[in-house]
């Protein structure tokens, strides 16, 4: 088989890139290790920056997002039984949109079907060949049958555990990592959200987050110890612990119900440099991971897609390779800013096992500064709604 761009990974980064290329007449094949139902069953991100919204519009996939997504003009931060608000729209002129990653992915698959784009599911043994030559190939197997794609470029959109990053030789690749000493236990429940806006809470018992997908579907998280298992947490135990971490009036207003999903995510900061090797480009979680505290993972995958889309359009439509040569540097410059913000926001809101009394006072002082200082609030707001591409 032949195509212009072989895309490894049918998550949001791979699908968005495929659809944007299609709009400009550039052909691609998407290879996905899992089934479509599995990909659509993952509950992940919920907060979209305007940059991602604009890319979905450019891809022709934003109708349902505009009809069903919820525009949020601010967020709430709770600490020591006090709640304050960061007003994104007043501070930056820009809101965020609450619309689940599951729905984004569903819309992108629908568009790919309508465009009759080629997607192979349940592929195995994906291997990239000759990424440092002018004629790369990707080999893989489906149902035991070996196949091969000849292409101009390979986009590695296969997430943190994919094969693309490891194709870059050890002598070239540098990795930077920080693993946090806790995870997030999250549940989804068919209950009305406790608040119209998200609440990020720093409590004595650890971090908690009240989020949502829509007015009937809530998403809540609590910080948990690294080795804990989701199945050891009953719904009742989760709700009790969440209540204890929220301000009293919020806890009293919380509507509980059975969870329809419950899982634990570890927290990690990770960056791989460079993000391009020859004709292979890394995009999204394949190249970087952030702790979810600032809602930056999916949004940073989207900014990579933006740079790569423009680079490939310049190559095919204008005969210019400047964007290709600058892809890694451009993407990484924005990635590191999202890493810094997510690391900072995580440090501000979680309880760390080795935190001294002094460290706790510093955290409290920083939260108090944020509560009372407009410049500090503006810095948070600018990062949260998304730095410019």
Active site residues: 72, 200, 292, 296, 384
Give the C-alpha separation, 244 to 353, whole Å. 19
Size, binding site for ligand PHB by CB under 6 A: 10
What are the residues whose beta carbons fall under 8 Å from the beta carbon of 221, sequence distance 6 or more?
184, 185, 186, 187, 207, 208, 209, 211, 292
Minimum CB distance to ligand RFL, residue 304 (Å): 8
Q: Is 291 in the site for ligand RFL (CB under 6 A)?
A: no
Range 239-298, binding ligand PHB (CB under 6 A): 292-295
Q: Phi first, then psi: give them for residue 145, nearest 5 degrees.
A: -95, 125
91: contact with ligand RFL by CB under 6 A: no
Distance CA(119)–CA(139), nearest Å, equals 15
CB of 124 to ligand RFL, least distance (A): 8
Q: Which of residues 40-69 bind ligand PHB (CB under 6 A)?
A: 45-47
Our measurement of the distance from residue 34's CA atom to the centroid of its chain's CA atoms, rounded to an integer in Å, reads 19
Dist CA 153 CA 27 (whole Å): 11
Assess 328 for contact with ligand PHB (CB under 6 A).
no
Q: Is 141 in the site for ligand RFL (CB under 6 A)?
A: no
CA 244/CA 224 separation, integer angstroms: 14
Q: How many CA atoms lie less than 13 Å away from 8 in the CB half-sphere?
A: 33
From 264, 258, 303, 266, select the one nearest 284 (Cα to Cα): 303
Pick what 219 binds: ligand PHB, ligand RFL, none; C-beta below 5 to 8 Å, kind-dependent: ligand PHB
CB of 50 to ligand RFL, least distance (A): 13
Does 296 engage in binding with ligand RFL (CB under 6 A)?
Answer: yes
Q: 319 preceded by cis ω (within 30°)?
A: no
Asked if residues 268 and 346 have their Cβ atoms less than 8 Å apart, the reply is: no
Q: Which does residue 293 bind out of ligand RFL, ligand PHB, none, counting CB within 5 to 8 angstroms by kind?
A: ligand PHB
Supply the DSSP symbol for 327: H
Size of the site for ligand RFL (CB under 6 A): 37
> Which of ligand RFL, ligand PHB, none sits in contact with 9, Cβ below 5 to 8 A by type?
ligand RFL
219 binds ligand PHB, rule: CB under 6 A: yes
Q: Applying CB under 6 A, which residues contact ligand PHB? A: 45-47, 198, 211, 219, 292-295
Q: Applying CB under 6 A, which residues contact ligand RFL? A: 8-14, 31-34, 39, 44-47, 101, 123, 126, 157-159, 161-163, 184, 186, 265, 284-285, 292, 295-299, 301
């Amino acid at each position: 088989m032949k195509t212009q761009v072989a895309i490894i990974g049918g998550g949001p980064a791979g699908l968005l890139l495929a659809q944007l290329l299609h709009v400009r007449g550039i052909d691609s094949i998407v290879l996905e290790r899992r089934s479509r139902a599995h990909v659509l069953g993952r509950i992940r991100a919920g907060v979209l920056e305007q940059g991602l919204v604009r890319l979905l519009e450019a891809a022709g996939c934003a109708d349902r997002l505009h009809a069903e997504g919820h525009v949020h003009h601010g967020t709430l931060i709770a600490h020591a039984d006090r709640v304050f608000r960061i007003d994104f729209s007043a501070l930056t002129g820009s809101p965020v949109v609450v619309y689940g990653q599951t729905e984004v992915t569903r819309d992108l698959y629908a568009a790919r079907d309508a465009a009759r784009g080629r997607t192979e599911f349940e592929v195995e043994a994906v291997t990239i060949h000759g990424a440092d030559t002018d004629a790369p190939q990707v080999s893989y197997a489906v149902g035991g049958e070996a196949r091969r794609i000849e292409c101009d470029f390979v986009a590695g959109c296969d997430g943190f555990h994919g094969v693309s990053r490891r194709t870059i030789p050890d002598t070239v690749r540098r990795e930077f990592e920080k693993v946090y000493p806790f995870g997030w236990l999250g549940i989804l429940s068919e209950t009305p959200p406790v608040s119209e806006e998200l609440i990020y809470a720093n409590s004595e018992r650890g971090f908690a987050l009240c989020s949502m997908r829509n007015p009937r579907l809530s998403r809540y998280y609590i910080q948990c110890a690294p080795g804990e298992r989701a199945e050891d947490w009953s719904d009742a135990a989760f709700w009790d612990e969440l209540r204890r971490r929220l301000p009293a009036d919020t806890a009293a207003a919380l509507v509980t119900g059975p969870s329809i999903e419950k899982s634990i995510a570890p927290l990690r900061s990770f960056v791989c440099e460079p993000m391009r090797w020859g004709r292979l480009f890394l995009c999204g979680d394949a190249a970087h991971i952030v702790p979810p505290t600032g809602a930056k993972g999916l949004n940073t995958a989207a900014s990579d897609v933006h740079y790569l889309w423009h680079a490939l359009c310049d190559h095919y439509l204008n005969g210019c390779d400047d964007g290709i040569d600058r892809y890694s540097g451009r993407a990484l410059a924005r990635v590191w800013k999202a890493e810094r913000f997510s690391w900072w926001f995580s440090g501000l809101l979680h309880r760390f096992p080795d935190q001294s009394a002094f460290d706790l006072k510093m955290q409290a002082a920083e939260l108090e500064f944020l509560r009372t200082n407009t410049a500090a609030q503006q810095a948070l707001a600018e990062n949260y709604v998304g730095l410019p591409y």
